[in-house]
Structure 1
Amino acid sequence: MFKSIACLVVVSVLIFSCNSSEKTEKTITVVDGKDRYDVYQGSEMANLMRGMHAFNLQLKEEVKSGKITTEFPEEFLKIHTAIFSESKSRNQTFDHYSGKFVEAQKLVFEKDSVVSLTERYNNAINLCITCHQTECTGPIPKIKKLLIK
């Protein structure tokens, strides 16, 4: 059941993130009876990264069990084109680390590797942490929880 919910969350986030074509972050107003709430709508990149986190949370459990039932999500390749929030921008450092992350994440799914599955998985997560140390450090504690100790 957890797998189904996690997959649904990942797919939902990735689908909704594909519909964002503006660079600015948005809020929408939700009316509940007489109350009005402004709800934050993240950038395409923020939504993609939330989806990556949800997917890797599920993948962590698969790696711990020693059996991967999923495949590399091609949606992750959107990391090279997704639109950032207004206050952030693509730069050489991000391009470098995002490319390395995609390579490392793909290695997790290779069946014939001599490197242990846990090590390959942690390598991919460590690349996320390393990139986030250069800018946008807020998610680091959440990302660190993805590591397998």
Structure 2
Amino acid sequence: MKAYFSCVFVLLLLSCNSKEKVEKKVVITDGTKTYDVYQASEMSTLMKGMYAYNMQLKTDIEAGNEVSDEFPEEFLRIHSAQLSETKLRNETFQHFSGKFIDAQREVFIDSSLLSVKDRYNNSINMCLSCHKTECTGPIPKIQKLLIK
């Protein structure tokens, strides 16, 4: 009897530890149609990458690490990346995206009279300025990029 319980116990332990977690994919149907899951636009993907880059840059600046002098050329895709279906590349977007690129480039110029913290915050404030007029959803997240 003792051997039986020992075998059951070992099997339970092995079954708990050996199974890998399998992610379930949710498919939404109404019986006649299958709906596509949200796919981020090129612009959304680009901006998430810009956010990640600037979050690392913020960490480096706060730590007193030296900032690279190379502007990330990928940021220039802001002028050509495909927007979501509900957004248009209008004059306001063109204006702010140009100003953002100028401000972001300034972060990497050592000869500036402004501190790197001020130059960095200026570029993040350009993001906020645009998002206050166009797409307000990410504003709280963008505000986390500011160095206090």
TM-score range, shorter chain: 0.7 to 0.9
| Counterpart in the other structure of 1:75 | 74
Q: Which moved more, 1:59-68 or 1:121-130?
A: 59-68
Give the ranges of 4+ consecutive aligned residues of structure 1 lying more than 6 Å apart after TM superposition.
none
| Alignment equivalent of 1:41, drawn from 23, 36, 39 | 39
TM-score, normalized by length of structure 1?
0.74
Give the deviation of 1:70 after TM superposition.
6.6
CA contact (8 A) 2:43 2:84 kept: yes
Give the 3-state SS of the residue equivalent to 1:41 in structure 2: coil
What SS is found at the alignment partner of 1:78? Answer: helix
Residue from 62, 65, 85 that aligns with 2:63: 65
Partner of 1:102: 101
Cα distance in 2 for residues equivalent to 1:133 and 1:118:
22
Q: CA offsets per residue over residues 64-122 of structure 1, 9 Å max, x none?
A: 12321473110000000111000001000000000000000000001111111100000
Q: Which residue of 1 aligns with 2:50?
A: 52
The aligned counterpart of 2:124 is: 125
More strand as a share of residues: 1
Checking the alignment, whether the CA contact within 8 Å between 1:60 and 1:146 is kept in structure 2 is yes
How far is 1:55 from its partner?
0.4
SS of the residue 2:38 aligns to: strand
Where does the alignment leave 5 or more consecutive residues of structure 1 unmatched? 1-30
Q: Deviations over 1:32-64 (max 9, x none)?
A: 56x535643200011100110000000001111
Letter in 2 for 1:46: S
Q: For the residues of structure 2 that align with 1:71 and 1:102, how far apart are their CA atoms? A: 13
Of structures 1 and 2, the larger Rg is shown by: 2
Amino acid aligned to 1:63 = I
Cα distance between partner residues in 1 of 2:137 and 2:110: 34
TM-score when scaled to structure 2? Answer: 0.74
SS in 2 for 1:53: helix
| Unpaired runs of at least 5, structure 2 | 1-21, 28-35
Change (3 A) 1:70 1:41: farther
